[in-house]
Structure 1
Amino acid sequence: MMQRKLRILGTGKYLPARQVTSEELDERLGKPAGWVLKKSGVKVRYYTEGETVSQMGARAAAEALKEAGLTFADLDCIVCTNSVPEQPIPCTAALIQNEMGHGDSGTPCFDVNSTCLSFLAGLDLISYTMAMGKYKTVLLVAPEIASAGLNYEQSESSILFGDGAAAVVVGISREGETSHILASRMETYGSGYALSEVRGGGTKLPAAAFEASRAADYLFDMQGEALFKKTSKLLPRFMEELFRDAGVGLSELSIVIPHQGSAMAMRLLQHKLGIPDSRLMNIIGNHGNTIAASLPMGLHEAIRQGRLERGNLAAIIGISAGVSLGGIVFEY
């Protein structure tokens, strides 16, 4: 597999001000004290109050650029890697560009959507584009407002999610720098598409056809147990092939950054792969599942906390609606 010379230059993160505790959701759902925390593993998550996806994305992007020591003028491209767009048209990346105050810059913008794996898919795609010389410096932004589409009738899934944004600036590794992507892999099993979906809002059930009697079609719907069973069978072989492609073993990684889907999913991953706590990035307890923002948010925290340093090997891995599995092994 082609080893792409790519270096993470800076990361940024943004969380809304409103904290929603597990105790608050216990009361909202009429559950006994402690039920939400036990079921979700999420003590606190964040919900927006009037903020838009593009506003959150712009704030995370500004932090990532500052961390990288760059300005907007240094960017060759902006890629929004989120799950739910701010509006159907135009692409959310264009709205983020405008929110950053550079709506007349001409900087190319487009979106990559693979639900929870959007950042991983976007990073993979853009790395090949950069390797071919098209772009030198790219901003990937993953802002999500999960709270807008939660169905509280499905209590076990609605309690998992939170809002937030993360951004990553990547560039081509220079002479003497060893940062690169060793391997990437993605598999999709469309037979499981109905296990995690929002049916309404597209052309099949357009917004104009909304009826109160079908409101659930316009909210998030997940068959958690069936999704868990399907992915748990696929994950071990998938990971084995990812590490085979990378030419390294799990024990050589300094940290594994998984999609923060649920506490149960984290336990499954840790058990199946035998990852010790010291090498697993787990932030779900104080963030919740932030959909596509989850992976770059975990990456940001791993760097900020000093758990990922230059020269370290790491992996970002996860599952998403589709059903898809994805992973990237890289040297930071």
Structure 2
Amino acid sequence: MPMSATSYINGLGRYVPPRAVSNADLEKLVDTSDEWITARTGIKVRHIAEKGQPSSDLAYEASKRALEHAGIEPGELTHVLVATCTPDSYCPNTASMLAHRLGVGTPMAMDINAACTGFLYSLEIARSLLCTYPDAKVLVTASEVLSSRTNWADRSTCVLFGDGAGAAVLTNKPTGELPFSVGPMQLRSDGQYADLLTIKGGGSATPYTLGETVREDFFITMEGREVFKQAVRNMASLCKELLEKAGMDINDVDLLVPHQANLRIIEALGNRLKIDRNKVFSNVQKYGNTSAASIPIALTEGIEQGILAKGDSVLVTSFGAGLTWGAGLLQA
């Protein structure tokens, strides 16, 4: 079977729910302030899904936009991947429901949970599928409704997260005005730090019994300071390793698109990599941390705003629960 060394992102799309929650809104819920949130996170607004609105709903909207951007009909898709740590349900998977709603037919469809690194993990899986099936057309969607697992009484976490989805369509042939070739990638995990960032309650290790009150472990819990250290250290190290293996240095990068978790993390990462601040993309102030969705949302915005141009070398990197982290190179 012929193999392809290069895969292409031919279409991108994004979607966030209309409802915007400002820092001033959060001041009414918990003991916090706009000044406190902005100084520590850089976040001003996050978008929140309506009650009962699932990840597949957001994924559907982002996917429609990505397919339109790629000029591909849903029925042409052969594989549907959804990166999420907030699936509609444990079973069935969100990807199957998304494929059905799009009218794809009967593709291979599966969810991937690598938390905030899920989109990069999914890109690597999509590339592998395209090597095995050269004529495949793969939809990669990252969708999160983190508000469904946010403890709105915990001021240390509730200010950080937002809901959203981003999607990409991959094939082995470049099409469209601005395809991205997917270059080398590096992906890592380390379970010894698993307890630093968790959503446990209801899982098989921490099940509920019928009628039991939902515990705090059902919601996002995080050791913020240690996560900060691990995130900056590991993303910076892996980016340097990736660039070295590619025969590049940071000066060859036209744009760094990091996971949009926290402006302090983004700035610290940029400083470690010694990259010009003007080359670091950030939209965390508008959306908060949308987990796996943050990088495809950022890439889509980069195109919409004209920040990404043909010929640009783009370094993407992410870090999340697991712990998981990754880095990859895209060429516009």
| Pair 209,220 (structure 1): closer, same or farther in 2 beyond 3 Å | farther
1:28 alignment partner, SS class? coil
Matches within 5 A, 1:152-301: 152-173=152-173, 180-208=181-209, 211-212=212-213, 215-301=215-301
How far off is 1:73 after superposition?
1.6
Q: For the residues of structure 2 that align with 1:319 and 1:280, how far apart are their CA atoms?
A: 16
Matches within 5 A, 1:1-332: 4-32=5-33, 34-50=35-51, 51-102=53-104, 105-133=105-133, 135-173=135-173, 180-208=181-209, 211-212=212-213, 215-332=215-332
Q: For the residues of structure 2 that align with 1:171 and 1:138, how far apart are their CA atoms?
A: 7
Asked if 1 retains the 8 angstrom alpha-carbon contact of 2:235 and 2:318, the reply is no
| Pair 210,145 (structure 1): closer, same or farther in 2 beyond 3 Å | farther
1:34 alignment partner, SS class? helix
Q: Does 36-45 or 177-186 show the bigger shift? A: 177-186
How far off is 1:142 after superposition?
1.1
C-alpha offsets along residues 185-221 of structure 1, whole Å, 9 cap, x if unaligned?
1121211100000121211122436733x61011110
Q: For the residues of structure 2 that align with 1:210 and 1:234, how far apart are their CA atoms?
A: 42
Q: For the residues of structure 2 that align with 1:286 and 1:24, how far apart are their CA atoms?
A: 14
C-alpha offsets along residues 31-73 of structure 1, whole Å, 9 cap, x if unaligned?
3453222232111110011422111111111111111111112
Asked if 2 retains the 8 angstrom alpha-carbon contact of 1:39 and 1:156, the reply is no
How far off is 1:174 after superposition?
5.2
| Pair 289,3 (structure 1): closer, same or farther in 2 beyond 3 Å | farther
Which residue identity lines up with residue 132 of structure 2 in the other structure? M
Asked if 2 retains the 8 angstrom alpha-carbon contact of 1:260 and 1:266, the reply is yes
Structure 1's unaligned 5+ residue stretches are none
C-alpha offsets along residues 121-169 of structure 1, whole Å, 9 cap, x if unaligned?
0101211220233552111111110111112343122201101111111
How far off is 1:254 after superposition?
1.4
How far off is 1:222 after superposition?
0.4
How far off is 1:273 after superposition?
1.0
Which residue identity lines up with residue 293 of structure 1 in the other structure? A
How far off is 1:3 after superposition?
8.5
How far off is 1:179 after superposition?
5.1
Q: Does 51-60 or 115-124 show the bigger shift? A: 51-60
- Equivalences, count: 327
Which residue identity lines up with residue 5 of structure 1 in the other structure? T
2:225 alignment partner, SS class? helix
Asked if 1 retains the 8 angstrom alpha-carbon contact of 2:185 and 2:242, the reply is yes
Structure 2's unaligned 5+ residue stretches are none
Q: For the residues of structure 2 that align with 1:235 and 1:141, how far apart are their CA atoms?
A: 22
| Pair 128,27 (structure 1): closer, same or farther in 2 beyond 3 Å | same
How far off is 1:234 after superposition?
3.3
- TM-score normalised according to structure 1 size: 0.92
Q: Does 309-318 or 189-198 show the bigger shift? A: 309-318
- Give the RMSD, CA atoms, in angstroms: 2.1
Which residue identity lines up with residue 276 of structure 1 in the other structure? D
Which residue identity lines up with residue 231 of structure 1 in the other structure? A
- TM-score normalised according to structure 2 size: 0.92
